[in-house]
Amino acid sequence: MAGNPIIEIDGADIYQRENLVLTGVSLTINEGEFVYVIGKVGSGKTSLIKTLNAEIPVYNGEGTVAGHKLSELRHKDTAYLRRELGVVFQDFRLLTDRSVYDNLEFVLKATGWKNDAEIKARIIEVLGKVGLEKKVKKMPHELSGGEQQRVVIARAILNNPKIILADEPTGNLDPETSVEILKLLQELHQAGKTIVMATHDYALISKHKARTLICENLKIKDTAEEDSVIDFETLMESGG
């Protein structure tokens, strides 16, 4: 399924505020890949996701995401990059004073959609994909954590992005709901999306293995390049 490179990082240093969290990062992710990013708290997982989303600038080196050079990206141009990306957050970031429909409508209108009939059709379509077409009028507080995360995934795919960046998407969910959310991401992957998922949910991903980037000691170890097996039991015991 994997095709041409869609994410390329070459010799980049990544900082969280003034702290260097990853150095000399070089990696390539192809179209249609599913990639986990794991590591201890503070190891650089979220910072890598934020770099790919242009929330954090690239220092030294180069980075290209969906054809956009990160080092040359001006602030006003980040919107063009982000149209190629769907981002799923651990803490949902839904507008709590708006219904499910209004949350999604807000995103579409903010990204240039103007025709109300087309907006409605797209919202119903994406809610159908995440199994929430009957929750369209609900407020976020009326939904379970898993349902809220499904709304977030629906929001992420509204503009049919090439890449989905998921930052701890199961971090606040129980194990059963976590499996459902991972299954939904896997379905999007099977439909052709490139998925990059930062997680510390080793119990979950040990049962659903994929290429894994391990953030450790300022470096990224890539299981696609290493002749090694991840010891998930040790990771879980150490708090990974």
Burial of 173 (0-12, 13-18, 19+ CB in 10 A): buried
**Single-letter code of the amino acid located at 185:** L
Token readout for 1 is: 């399924």
End-to-end CA distance of the chain: 30
What pLDDT shows up at residue 1?
45
What pLDDT shows up at residue 232?
58
Q: Which of 60-64, 79-83, 117-121, 218-222 has the lowest mean pLDDT?
A: 79-83
The residues of the chain that CATH labels 3.40.50.300 are: 5-84+161-238
Residue 181, phi-psi category: left (phi > 0), alpha (psi -120 to 50), beta (remainder): alpha
Q: pLDDT digits over 157-192, tens only?
A: 999 999 999 999 998 889 999 999 999 999 999 999
What pLDDT shows up at residue 168?
92
Query: What radius of gyration, in Å, describes the C-alpha atoms of the chain?
Result: 18
Q: pLDDT digits over 103-153, tens only?
A: 999 999 988 899 999 999 999 999 999 999 999 999 999 999 999 999 999
What pLDDT shows up at residue 13?
94
Distance between CA atoms of 215 and 221, rounded to whole angstroms? 7
Average pLDDT over residues 72-88: 86
Which CATH code is given to the segment(s) 5-84+161-238? 3.40.50.300
Order of strands, sheet of 19-30, starting from the edge strand that comes earlier in the sequence: 19-30, 5-16, 62-65, 68-69
